[in-house]
Amino acid sequence: MNMTPMILTPGATTLAQLETLWRGGAAAALTPAAREGVEAAAAQVARAAAGEEAVYGVNTGFGKLASVKIAAKDTAVLQRNLILSHCCGVGEALDGATTRLMMALKLLSLGRGASGVRWAVIAQLEAMLAAGVTPVVPAQGSVGASGDLAPLAHMTAAMIGAGEAVFQGARMPSEQALQAAGLTPLVLGPKEGLGLINGTQFSTALALVGLFDGWRNAASSLATAALSTDAIMGSDAPLQPEIHSLRGHRGQIEVAGQMRRVMAGSVIRDSHLTGDTRVQDPYCIRCMPQVVGAAVDLLRFAATTLETEANAVTDNPLVVGAGIISGGNFHAEPVAFAADIIALALAEIGAIAQRRVALMVDPTLSHDLPPFLTPDPGLNSGFMIAEVTTAALMSENKHLANPCSTDSTPTSANQEDHVSMAAHGARRLRWMNTNLSVILGVEALCAAQGIGFRAPLETSPALQAVMAAIRAVSPALEADRYLAPDIEAASALIRSGTLIAAAGLTDFTL
C-alpha cells in the first residue's frame, strides 16, 4: 500500500485535516520536528526505569497493583503482559477508517513529547498506517477511564505481533500481517504499553466521526427543509434576517441566511405572496432556524472540545519538566459531554424533519397536496409507510440521545471509582447519524414529490438542482412500487453530501 502520509503537527492539527484523513483513508505521520521532544522524554523514562525509586507505570504494577515494585529486568515483560491482559474487548470490530483515525490520534498524543515513549513506537504506528495494516479492535469494553484501555490494547497488540489485523482486505494474525507488509513486531520499552493504552483516542475517534457525519446531516437538512417549505407553499417571511439578528444566536442567523439564499427565485413562493389565507406555517417550517440553528451551535461547541482533545496528551503518568507525574488526563469526561451534546443535536434535527414529512403527507396541512403524495390515493398508499419509518427512527434517536455521561460505575477494585462512559456515548452516534440520514432522505423524496405537484410552477434554481439530484436516483412516484431502494438511494445522497453541493451549501462549515 505504502501511501504518502499527511504530515500532522502535534498540538496544532485541525478538524479539517482529521476529517480528510478519515474520509480519504490517507496515512498519517508526525512532523520530524516532534522527534526531539519525544526522545528527550523517553530518555527520562529510561533513567527512571533503571533507578531504585518506584515510578508508577514505569517500574510498578498498574491500577490497584501500583504498589508492587517491578525489577528493571522485568520491565519489558511488564509492558507486554499489560497489553495482553487488557485485550478484553468484545463485540463487532471497529471499522477500518475509524480505527486508522484512532491510530492517527494516538500519534498526535504521543508526539507531544510527554508520554515517554521512544520514537520507534511512533514509527511503528506510522509504518502500519502507510502499509495498510489495520488492527482488529472490538468496539465494546471501554468505560472511558482509565482511558480506552481494552480497545487501545487491541490496537497495541497488533503493533507487537499479537492479536489480529486486516491487511489487503484479509483478517489474519497480526504477526502475519506485519510480516506480509515488511514490518517487524515492536518490542515495548518501559512505560510504552501504558502510554499506548492509556488515552481517549478510541472515544475521541468515534465522537469525531459522529461530529463529521452529524454536520453533513445538519447541512443537508437545510436543503431538505427549504424544499419542503416550497412543497407545502410555505412562507419565507420567518427567514428574514431582522428576526434572527434580534435574537443573536450565530447558528440561527446562519441557518436562516442559508435557507433564504437557497429559496431565492422560487416561482412557487412568488405565486402565493398575496391572497394566501394562511396566517402562519406550523413550527416545523417556521422555527427551522431556531431549532436547527441551536443544534448547529451545539455541534460547533462539541467540535471545539474534540479538536482540543484530538491534540491532547491523555495518558498517565506524564513526563513534565524533570519529573514523571501521575494525573488523570485519561478521564474522557470532555469527550463524553461532547458525545452527549452531539446526540441531542442529532435527535432534534431528526425530530423537526420528521414533522415536515408528516406535514407533507397530511392533506389537511399540506395546502392541497394529495393524501400521502400519491396522484391516485386509495388505490395507492404513496409515502404513507415511509412516513411511519421516519417516525420509528425519530423515536429511536430520542431514546439514544439520553445522556451517557451521567452514568458511572466503579471499576478496578474501586481504584477507578468514577468513569465517563464516553466510549459507548460516542459509538451510538454512528447509529443515530444513519437513522437521521434516512429521515432526511425520506424528507427529500416527499418534498420532491410535492414540488412535482406544483407544476408548472417552479422552485428556486438552487432547489431545482437539488430536485435533479433526487430524481437522478429516484423517479417521481406515479404509482406504488417497492420503495426501500428509493429510500436507501435518497439516504445515500444525504450521507455523501450530494444535496449540500447541489444546493450550494458547501460554504456552511463547522
Q: By three-state DSSP, how is residue 134 classified? A: strand
Rounded Cα distance between 61 and 82, Å, is 9
Size of the chain, expressed as the number of residues it contains: 510
The set of cell numbers assigned to 250 is 450565530
* In contact, 404 and 338? CB cutoff 8 Å: no
Q: What angle in degrees, to the nearest 10, is found between the helix axes of 461-473 and 484-496?
A: 130
User: From residue 506, how far is each of 124, 342, 443, 502 by CA, in Å?
Assistant: 37, 21, 20, 9
Contact 63, 328 (CB under 8 A): no
Query: Which listed residue (17, 28, 48, 56) is catalytic?
Result: 56
Is 482 an active-site residue?
Answer: no
String of DSSP letters for 191-211:
THHHHHHSSSHHHHHHHHHHH
H/E stretch holding 356 = helix 333-361
- Four-point Cα dihedral 149, 152, 153, 154, nearest 10: 130
At 221, which helix (H) or strand (E)? helix 201-231
- Integer distance in angstroms from the first to the last C-alpha of the chain? 32
Enumerate residues 6+ apart whose C-beta is below 8 A from 229.
235, 236, 259, 263, 281, 285, 288
User: What are residue 28's DSSP bridge partners?
Assistant: 6
Is the CB of residue 107 less than 8 Å from the CB of residue 177?
A: no
Neighbours of 32 (CB within 10 A): 9
Annotated active-site positions, please? 56
